Amino acid sequence: MNQLDALRQYTTVVADTGDFKQLGAFRPQDATTNPSLILKAVQKPEYQPLLAQTVAQYRDRPLDEVMDRLLVAFGREILSLIPGRVSTEVDARLSFDTAATVARAQRLIALYQAEGLPTDRVLIKIAATWEGIQAAAELERQGIHTNLTLLFSFAQAVACGQAQVKLISPFVGRIYDWYKKSAGAAWDEAARSGVNDPGVQSVTQIYQYYKRFGIATEVMGASFRNVGQITALAGCDLLTIAPELLAQLAANEAPLAQVLNAEAAARLDLAPVQHDEAGFRYALNEDAMATEKLAEGIRAFAADAVKLEKLMQAL
């Protein structure tokens, strides 16, 4: 049995890509996208007709609506190839505007419904700012399920659990990147790999806390830099993995054991945590890594959204 098939025994495997033509090879349950992945996909020749068709059909509409229609066009194609859910992201430039995030999410869901797709197959991705988490709480009350992304800290995970969001995507690789860069020459790759990887440790802490306190929010590790980070989280609810790493897992037949276990986590001696807005903002501020990576992630997604808009305007 290869490692990808072994991983499926413990964890729901999700593909992290906008390149939906790659999905058939790996048989993921779900798929996730973001503005950067969509931008990367539409620059490939095989996806340019989808971009051109969407822009031509809705050229008279506001640019933000054309963008949403393009995201939904990709989501529609992805859903035709997988049995589960697709995650579609709200514009990162709305990350600090609760009302605008709710409105954009509602429009995305309406566009999916217009395509005849059931809403339970769509997760709306929202940055895990305080405003984004409050928007997600409101959307969940409306029956619109959410995936809170750009999540780097325990404080963000606590607030998402309180908001009863459907799913969170804690970022493993970007946490790893920050600590490796911060350590510089002192970084010991071997000593900080596997279960000692700081990104893996972050997801493990969140997973164990959720299972200990019966929090129903699903934990989906994301943003992996290497296969070792993935195998160290075998047993996590879901893991969203880029095609390149899915291929590496499929090509490796080394044994893969379950690491995270919900029953074991439920027996841990952990203290409950609650955050109001002030407590959340202070806890996030105290975490230099999470503060920096959240801001950096929003800027990067926003910049790629602008690039995507410019591509559409050029057609």
Three-point CA angle 21, 23, 25, nearest 5°: 105
For residue 286, the Cα-to-chain-centroid distance in whole angstroms is: 23
Whether 263 and 192 have beta carbons less than 8 Å apart is answered as no
Pairing of strands 218-221, 86-89: unpaired
Based on the residue annotation, tell me whether 21 is a catalytic residue of this protein: no
Pairing of strands 218-221, 146-151: unpaired
Q: What are phi and psi of 21, to 5 degrees?
A: -70, -15
User: What HEC string does 130-173 produce?
Assistant: HHHHHHHHHHHHCCCCEEEEEECCHHHHHHHHHCCCCEEEEEHH
In our burial notation (b when 16+ CB lie closer than 10 A, e otherwise), range 12-28 reads bbbbbbbbbebbeebbb
Pairing of strands 86-89, 30-32: parallel
Q: Would you give the DSSP letter of residue 91?
A: P
- Residues 40, 125, 293, 310: which is the catalytic one? 125
Active site residues: 125
